[in-house]
Amino acid sequence: MNESEYRRLRADALSGGEPAPAIMRELRGAAGRLLASRVLPPALSPYGVWNQEAADDVFQAWAAERLFGRGDLRGILARAGNLPVLRALAERSLRQFLLNARGRSEAQNLYGRVREQLAQDERIRRFIESPRSQNAWWGLSDWDQPPAFNDDQRSLNRAAWSIEDLTVIRYASDARKLSPMLDRDELNRFLHSLFQELQAMLTLTHIMSALRERLALDYQRGAVSIDVAPEPAGSEDTATELALRQTALLVISELTSRQAKVLLQTSQGRPLAAIAQKLGCSAATALNEQRRIATAIRRLSADQEEQGRVLNVVTDLLYVGGTDALD
């Protein structure tokens, strides 16, 4: 499809017509080139590896959910006055779709396991029924008329972090399994400890909120620390450099302006108190921002070695581009 043909088909689609097959072929081609370029981390693939099957499934899901289901195709066409812009916007939309889809899959997987654990554990029982499973109230079986949790998010977060030495399993990118993951015993321990700490009935919504808080900030053994990153291990081939840069850009796309500033301040060796004073926040807030940065890097990297390399590239890109674009 040449530029003149694209402009004609674009005008037809924006006037209310169905998108022409040639436009859909162009979108499929843009998606295919992105997924085949080895610049997206395997962790974003539904199968832990980028192959033709994964590319086909991702394109169909992206088209159904974003392009047509949410109506994003019309917005992309409205902004894309030429083919290069169309391809760039399509790639951007697909990247964001993959990030969001992975987050939903992990949460849904964990939600199902928690619901099953609550129902099967004899030491836990449902005190108050609800038509919607997430609104039922659960507690320890030996309780007698326990109170309902008062929805204090700070108390819930403190309780989640009071559970020590939580072992989180994070599978390699080719394992075709979701991460993060708690094994059955650790999930069971988390649930019981949470009830005991709060001494109140909880809903699935409360429990999932506590798990998100704890798993998102967890510094389990082997996790990357943003305080000290290893130096790059020698020269990389072009494909590897592109992959690291693309992963770094994905990390940056998830950072808030404050997180980017925390990272730059940390990389300069500033102590936590000085970072907090510079940014006008508490030291605890700055620490949580550091942990969130580490989590984003860990989630999008294939292994521990890559985490350090991605961190270096993220820091370099932020130094070059600054943090104003994230405001």
Digit-coded pLDDT (tens) for 256-300: 889 989 988 887 778 888 899 999 999 888 888 888 888 888 877
**Two tokens, residue 178:** 């979701």
**Segments making up each domain of the chain, as ranges:** 3-103, 121-217, 238-326
Q: Is the pLDDT of residue 153 over 50?
A: yes
Which long-range contacts link 48-55 to residues 24+ away (Cβ below 8 Å)?
48/172, 48/173, 48/174, 48/175, 48/176, 48/177, 49/173, 49/174, 49/176, 55/31
Identify whether the C-beta of residue 27 lies closer than 8 Å to the C-beta of residue 67: yes
Which residue has tokens 């599978």? 171
Which residue has tokens 């964990």? 110
Digit-coded pLDDT (tens) for 67-102: 888 888 888 888 888 888 888 888 878 877 876 666
- The reported pLDDT for the residue numbered 140 is 96
Identity of the amino acid at 73: L
Q: Fold for domain 238-326? A: Arc Repressor Mutant, subunit A (1.10.10)
49: left (phi over 0), alpha (psi -120 to 50) or beta: beta
Predicted TM-score of the model (pTM): 0.42
How many Å apart are CA 224 and CA 305, to the nearest integer?
A: 9
- The reported pLDDT for the residue numbered 32 is 85
Digit-coded pLDDT (tens) for 24-75: 998 988 888 877 776 677 767 776 677 888 888 888 888 888 888 888 888 8
Q: Is the pLDDT of residue 136 over 50?
A: yes
Query: What Å distances lie between residue 125 and 201, 237, 287, 304, CA to CA?
Result: 10, 56, 36, 40
Which residue has tokens 């693939």? 45
Torsion of CA 289, 293, 299, 300, to 10 degrees: 150
Give the 3-state secondary structure percentages of the chain, helix then strand then coil, rounded to 5. 65, 5, 30
Average pLDDT, the chain: 78
